Structure 1
Amino acid sequence: MRAHRRTLALAASVVLALTAGPLAAPAFAAPAAAARASAADTTTGPDAEALRAAIAGLPDADATAALVRIGGTDGAWRGSAGVHDLASGRAADPDARFRAGSTTKVVTAAVVLKLAAQGRIDLGTPVQHYLPGLFTPAFEPITVRQLLNHTSGIRAGDGWGDSFEEQYAHRFDTLTPRQVVRSAVAKGPEFRPGHGQDYLNINYTVLGLLVEKVTGHSYASEATRLVLRPAGMRDTYFPGADPRIRGPHNHGYQAVRRADGTTEFVDVTEWNQADRRAAGDMISTTADLERLVTSLFRGRIVPGPQLAEMFTVPSGVPGASYSAGLQRFEYQGREYWLKSGARYGYSTVVAATRDLSRTVVYSVGSTDAKGEEMNPVSLRIALAALK
């Protein structure tokens, strides 16, 4: 059950987008994009024209909807396009909730760092100290910090299968985080802790168990208490085994090739994500994710000494780019800290400069959210947003 690896590595994504052959365009009626720009300084602010063009023409073969929110001291822009669902063709709800995927890890990292600030967790202490018996003797001591920055060496856990069809057949079944961890531990370590970086859900699945052990409460309740409420994220929650998305939401779809070569768009809105929990279970909105990154970067959630972990990539690890909950990315001389996430039907990105001069949050109703290539609509938004 390898986590979705794609981020805003734009140079590689541009090549992939140009060489990838898109699906034949379905005959969708495309509502006009509903976009609005602030009266920001257009010299340094968001490029409204490029952003409008990025989401024009939806729905198409690649995405059924796009919700975009650009902010920061340079200026703001809001936009949406596409449909609420393919059956009705009703315009997409710009304030809709969606499956936020691995952007959940930003919240999980913040929870762990806040508990560290309270003295309840020590980042340099092996997780085996807190969760005795979880790992076999084959594993060397793995520090909490190594879980946070994906240098633990734990292999990916197992899910319901590798193909969409296998996973779709089990979309209403429950796989617990402990079952996932057991399957990962049974494989033995991938590398010695601290000797490599491999971005995997399993690290944050273990962190979720750690939070529950240390606090005596569920991960969801602690994440809500320590992060969501302080950040003002009123439309964000953790559904657990509930396959529904509560409240206003746009439908998600997966493009599936039929035997005759045509494409079917399967509604994947309802899906039990219990196995993801602290690694990718969260349901949120673009406004709430903007509140999250703004509150975090201003030091309102995690105190300064611990917050530094979110902007520290481990040294001495070749190719490392991940910190605690985020990834460092440079584009056109500007440094961003970001996190992407994808569940079937939904692809999400949250990114910001450290000084909050630019924040970028978007959710795309991707029709191949778990594909190897960056969604073309997401790529267009990213290129426009980071100008």
Structure 2
Amino acid sequence: MVKRCAAALGALLIAGTAVGCTQPAESSVAQRLRQDAEAIHALGISGVQARVIEPDGTHSVATSGTADLATSDPVPSDGYFRMASTAKTLVATVVLQLAGEGSLTLDDTVERWLPDVVRGNGNDGTRITLRQLLQHTSGIHDDLPGYATPGEYYRQRYDTYTPAQLIARAMAHAPDFAPGSNWQYSNTGYILLAEIIQRATGRPAHTEIENRIVTPLRLHGTRWLGDSPTLPQPHARAYQFFGPGSEVDVTDQIALEPENLSWVTTTEDENTFFRALLGGRLLPADRLAEMKRTVPVSGDLETMWPGGRYGLGLAERPLSCGGAYWSHEGGDGGYITLNGVTGDGARSAVVSMSEALGDTPEHILAQESAAATLIDHALCP
């Protein structure tokens, strides 16, 4: 088995896989992890880092590719990356904790907490509940700024927006469907949830996340960056592949909505968080069960997540060996991360890729599928 060594002894890196100093050979888990990381790199992904934690606490770590195309530096096995939409699970956990404490209920309407915010063009906050925001069944249309070309990235990377501005962009559109009648991923719904956390507690959502999750779990590699465009060291640089001859370093940029998207983490911390959540350390059994009540996702996302379903800030995906695992991937600014944990929180895996293939739907799907295969292999030893 591949185990972490004492810090004073360091670690031996063999073919991109961290092998514990007391272990003469890779375990089967570590071998497969290394092979799967190399398969992702072979797609043209500049850098890959992955970590599996087994039920006995054993860590297997693999890296592949380079952290910097200009220098060919190796990918750090403990490098920071942007958490992106994985932070939605942090937000959802805090909302469910507040519900358990009686500060709010999941059946509260948005209007109850944010009067006159969700309105216009058929939007009606009196008909949308917090549960629907959490589960992406609110019907609120997404209209977040973004970049599809290198020029747009360079023009927009330091732009900042207030939550009110981003919500107003969504309210300029009619709803995608009546609340509760369908499913469509909505980042705007989680912007509203962060605002509701602040209204219910008197503190920003990131402070509640730090106090309720990051500090108790000792997630020393998980940080809220606010409007800082840079990441702490060490980290692999992030790249966006827009097409042949257009591979752009997109490492530096300000998160669109800091309360939700301005988190960085490590593969160890992300594993620790999901193990704690599914292991019942953050929510009582009834609240965790509520989080795990799922509905089918939309057809376009089902292509990316075959058989996938969505609960309250938590996705369920099938395992090839039977059963299912729980996760919430994230993608932002070149960093694409997939994760997974078994239902009892005993076995987990995280893979972070420091390049996004964004040129064609086929390449996007190939990257997603290769990373999902790594997670499946890690959870089906």
Rounded to whole Å, the distance in 2 between the matches of 1:203 and 1:370 is 27
My pick for the range that moved more, 69-78 or 222-231, is: 69-78
Rounded to whole Å, the distance in 1 between the matches of 2:90 and 2:287 is 14
Rounded to whole Å, the distance in 1 between the matches of 2:166 and 2:206 is 18
Out of 41, 45, 48, the position equivalent to 1:63 is 45
Instruction: With the length of structure 1 as denominator, give the TM-score of the two structures.
Output: 0.82
- Residue 11 (structure 2) aligns with: none
Out of 262, 266, 269, the position equivalent to 1:285 is 266
Rounded to whole Å, the distance in 2 between the matches of 1:46 and 1:128 is 53
My pick for the range that moved more, 308-317 or 323-332, is: 308-317
- Residue 288 (structure 2) aligns with: 307
Contact 2:327 2:339 in 1 (8 A): yes
My pick for the range that moved more, 237-246 or 305-314, is: 305-314
Contact 2:339 2:375 in 1 (8 A): no
Residues 181-192 of structure 1 correspond to what in structure 2 (within 5 A)?
Answer: 181-192=167-178
Structure 1 residues 187 and 328, CA, compared in 2 at 3 Å: closer, same or farther? same
Q: Residues 68-106 of structure 1: CA distance to partner in whole angstroms, max 9, x if unpaired?
A: 111232764221222221122111111111011111111
My pick for the range that moved more, 58-67 or 269-278, is: 58-67
* Superposition deviation, residue 386 in structure 1: 4.0
Q: Which has the higher contact order (CA 8 A, sep 6+)?
A: 1
Out of 295, 299, 306, the position equivalent to 2:276 is 295
- Residue 342 (structure 2) aligns with: 353
* RMSD value, Cα: 2.9
- Where 1:361 maps in the other structure, the secondary structure is strand
- Residue 127 (structure 1) aligns with: 110
* Superposition deviation, residue 331 in structure 1: 2.0
Q: Which amino acid aligns with 2:48?
A: A
Unmatched runs of 5 consecutive residues or more in structure 1: 1-30
Contact 2:53 2:60 in 1 (8 A): yes
- Residue 152 (structure 1) aligns with: 138
- 2:375 pairs with 1:382: yes
Unmatched runs of 5 consecutive residues or more in structure 2: 1-13, 303-307
Q: Residues 156-213 of structure 1: CA distance to partner in whole angstroms, max 9, x if unpaired?
A: 0231455453244210111222211111012121111111111121111111111111
Count of residues in Structure 1 that have an aligned counterpart in Structure 2 = 349
Q: Which amino acid aligns with 1:253?
A: Y
My pick for the range that moved more, 158-167 or 359-368, is: 158-167
Contact 1:268 1:344 in 2 (8 A): yes
Contact 1:231 1:292 in 2 (8 A): yes
- 2:70 pairs with 1:87: yes
Rounded to whole Å, the distance in 1 between the matches of 2:241 and 2:327 is 27
Residues 199-278 of structure 1 correspond to what in structure 2 (within 5 A)?
Answer: 199-257=185-243, 262-275=244-257, 277-278=259-260
Contact 2:279 2:346 in 1 (8 A): no
Rounded to whole Å, the distance in 2 between the matches of 1:301 and 1:56 is 34
Out of 32, 46, 51, the position equivalent to 1:50 is 32
Structure 1 residues 309 and 73, CA, compared in 2 at 3 Å: closer, same or farther? same
- Residue 25 (structure 1) aligns with: none
